[in-house]
Structure 1
Amino acid sequence: MPWRPMTPQDLGEVQALADRIHVSHPEDPEVLAERQSLYPQGCFVLTEAERAIGYALTHPWRFAEPPPLNRLLGAVPSPATTYYIHDVALLPDARGKGYAAQITDRLVAHAREAGFSNLSLVAVNKSQVFWEKAGFRVIAIPGLGAKLASYGPDAVLMVRDVTSL
């Protein structure tokens, strides 16, 4: 599998990818570095021909409370009630090759092994269809509209039970 654990040495390349892929949702280098340092076992880099072409940042969190974009977390909460997918991002030429499905399967397995009952994420940039195919479903949480709007006009909170196929 071309996905490998992310290290602090990868953060420059990850930042460059994030800046190219998420032009309308920039995040500071400190935010990406903190995610990697708080939960390194949930952070991965996708490489092809020794070149980074994607990344995934995930961590335990509180269900139905997606963290604000471009903000430091401070710590992983205890207890955490969801395994949160902060970002799975691929360059355009890496899409359609099954890489996103590979990392999603790996994240689901990790969540299950770590004892989480679900994974959650905010789908953005027209990614809802992909996440639905991966077993996620949209959930509506009263009072969450303003926070979701900060992620973009098509942002939706999604959840997947780890026991679902």
Structure 2
Amino acid sequence: MSTRPILIRPMQADDVPAMLAVQAQCYPPHMNEPADVLLARWQACGDTAWVACDAQGQVAAYLVAYRSVWGKVSPLGQAFAHAAQPEVLYLHDLAIGQALRGQGAAQALVAAARQLAQAQALQGSTLVSVNGSLAFWQRLGWQVMSLEAAGQRALATYADDAVYMGWRPTW
């Protein structure tokens, strides 16, 4: 664990190229989402998107989310928008590049999301676990949840190991 605190800040439009590089380090090519999708998500939901910077101030990790409802899954590669009557904060993409792996960046980004969810009195958080991250999310308190047919169809756009998960806080 690094002794240097990790800088977490809101995502900006000019972070997209660095985010693409981080994404390429974290996901297989078929799961990489294009720059225009990342930019559209920032434009629609920039208040729920964060980046983490390395010691040189370069974006080396990110978390993009949006206010949603229980059971809704965003298909891979599609734009998203905040729900009119949100229940949860949906964590769509958490990616940690090589420069920040093992230094607490994931936990710091998730903490920022949890703080926002609490401040907005949301009921919890949901996500889709991919790339063998199920145990990581379970350690942070998320649990596997079932989905209706529409959610299952959206889940099928991800990798074979994709699992829908939810977290209910005790605040």
TM-score with structure 1 setting the length: 0.90
- Secondary structure of the residue aligned to 1:64 is coil
Structure 2 length-normalised TM: 0.87
Deviations 1:58-86 (A, max 9, x none): 1112321111111122x322012221001
Distance between the aligned counterparts of 2:170 and 2:41, measured in 1?
26
Post-superposition CA distance 1:87-138 (Å, at most 9, x none): 1101134222111111112211110111101100000001111111111000
Partner of 1:6: 11
| Structure 2 SS opposite 1:103 | helix
Corresponding residue number in structure 2 for 1:140: 146
Q: 1:27 aligns with which of 29, 33, 38?
A: 33
Do 2:64 and 2:94's aligned partners in 1 also have CA atoms closer than 8 Å? Answer: yes
- Taking the aligned partners of 1:56 and 1:139, their CA distance within structure 2 comes to 21
How many residues align? The count is: 163
Percent of counterpart pairs with the same letter?
A: 25
**Equivalent in the alignment of 1:120:** 126
Unaligned runs of 5+ in 1: none
Q: Distance in 1 between matches of 2:57 and 2:116?
A: 25
**Which one has more relative contact order, counting CA pairs under 8 Å at least 6 apart?**
2
Report matched runs for 1:1-165 at 5 Å: 1-22=6-27, 23-48=29-54, 49-73=56-80, 75-143=81-149, 144-163=151-170
The answer (yes or no) to whether the contact 2:62–2:109 under 8 Å persists in 1 is no
**RMSD of Structure 2 on Structure 1 (CA):** 1.6
The CA distance in 1 between the partners of 2:112 and 2:95, in whole Å, is: 15
Paired with 2:122 and 2:152, the residues of 1 have a C-alpha distance of 25
